[in-house]
Structure 1
Amino acid sequence: MSAVSTPCVKICIIDPASRLCEGCGRTLTEIAQWSRLSEAERLAIMARLPERRRRLKPWNN
């Protein structure tokens, strides 16, 4: 059995304004559906996460 790709960094705090996880940048829906997504779907979401995190915390750039 292969490991599931995940961006989780174990910092699970949902930003109230953006509704994104401050640790990984995923939405609650993405987090809830993660294990049911195909690897291609997970990788596509993960490709968008760096930009989401930059928008969430622009001062960290």
Structure 2
Amino acid sequence: MSDNIQAEVKSPCIGVCAMDEESGLCHGCYRTIDEIKAWWDMGQAAQKDLLVTLEERQMQQVSFD
């Protein structure tokens, strides 16, 4: 097996698939429909970049009030 093979980036899907009509984001993973559809065609770098974006979105959406 080659040392150049990288581990697959795990999908951010947590099985809570419900879209928020106002924000256009999934309540479970914070992706848009287009991002969900594109996930498996993205390269690993793009997937990792999106994971960072999703963390930022989650922090913006979550209210601790």
> Would you say same fold, with TM above 0.5?
yes
- Alpha carbon RMSD of aligned pairs, Å? 1.9
Provide the rounded CA distance (Å) in 1 between the counterparts of 2:15 and 2:59.
18
Percent identity between the two aligned chains: 32
User: Normalized against structure 1, the TM-score is what?
Assistant: 0.82
Higher relative contact order (CA 8 A, sep 6+): 1
Structure 1 portions without partners, runs of 5+:
none
Aligned to 1:34: 39
Choose between structure 1 and 2: higher helix proportion. 1
Structure 2 portions without partners, runs of 5+:
1-6
Provide the rounded CA distance (Å) in 2 between the counterparts of 1:16 and 1:59.
21
User: Normalized against structure 2, the TM-score is what?
Assistant: 0.78
Moved over 6 A (4+): none
Q: Count matched residues.
A: 60
User: What amino acid maps onto 2:53 in structure 1?
Assistant: R
Is 1:24–2:24 an aligned residue pair? Answer: no
